[in-house]
Amino acid sequence: MQRYFVNPRQWDGDQILVEGDDVHHMTRVMRMRPGDRVVCCDGEGTDLLAVLEDVKGDRVLLRVLERTPSRGEPAVAVTVAQALPKGDKWEWVLQKGTELGAASFLPVLSDRSVVKLDGKKADKKRERWQKIIKEAAEQSHRGCVPPVQPVVDWDGLMQAFSVCDRVIFAYEKGGVPLNQALADGPFQSLMIVVGPEGGFTSEEAEQARTAGALPVSLGPRILRSETAPLALLSCILYSHGEMGGEPL
């Protein structure tokens, strides 16, 4: 069934008033009519099964039939921190990372970054990124919309390490094997840090290690910068029993 995130100001008791892009999606793309059902998600862990009651111009009125807990949120919160890759690769990471179960995204701009973003451009980009994530969260039955945090520089990244139980720093030049880095889990919160194309320098790896990150090897195959976070997310969620089954 089609899913939409609604925000608390959109509902009143058992009635949900839908506005904006979702109206277009419901009435034009999905061609919904009164009587059709949708699932609305409050973004805080509850799914609301609802029936379409009325379409009034650019608004749709729904009535809630049933409330159930969302099943789509993993118990482990994984933040994907990544040196911003070029072009549409970052958008792929956002979309696929959301499907797989990332809790949030932290874009990093270092001195060596190819991508440049000033304040206004950064805000506009972030708006676009958040839209991609919202659509992926709806499609994949997530219970919340993972936030994209504001872009940080290298120092900002180091400071963010402290809020996670473990920081896994993808380092192709050597590190502990991934399964060893996860052996003392399950963790409540993890951060994965993925470098730009060409990987991190040995100085960056050393700084990250000093700041509390664990350099980790993903094996002998060299993954592209947009592939590494998706592989890491898959393995972490798998090892935490979030890809079907119990924790390993």
Binding residue (CB under 8 A) for a second copy from 51, 156, 185, 238: 238
CB of 210 to a second copy, least distance (A): 22
Measured from the CB atom, is 4 or 11 closer to a second copy?
4
Checking 224-228 for CB contacts under 8 A at 24+ apart, the result is 224/89, 224/197, 225/82, 225/83, 225/85, 225/89, 225/194, 225/195, 225/196, 225/197, 226/85, 226/89, 226/90, 226/92, 226/93, 228/170, 228/194
DSSP annotation of 10: G
Match 């009519």 to its residue by tokens.
33
CB-CB contact of 80 with 98 (8 Å)? no
What amino acid occupies position 44? E
Using CB under 8 A as the binding rule, whether residue 248 contacts a second copy is answered as: yes
CB of 29 to a second copy, least distance (A): 15
Binding residue (CB under 8 A) for a second copy from 15, 90, 142, 213: 142
Q: Who contacts 149 (Cβ-Cβ below 8 Å, separation ≥6)?
A: 104, 105, 106, 107
Restricting to residues 37-76, name those near a second copy by CB under 8 A: 71-72
Using CB under 8 A as the binding rule, whether residue 186 contacts a second copy is answered as: no
CB of 231 to a second copy, least distance (A): 4
Site size toward a second copy (CB under 8 A) is: 41
CB of 244 to a second copy, least distance (A): 3
Q: Give residues in contact with a second copy (CB under 8 A).
A: 71-72, 92, 96, 99-101, 139-142, 175-180, 216-224, 227, 230-231, 234-235, 237-239, 241-246, 248
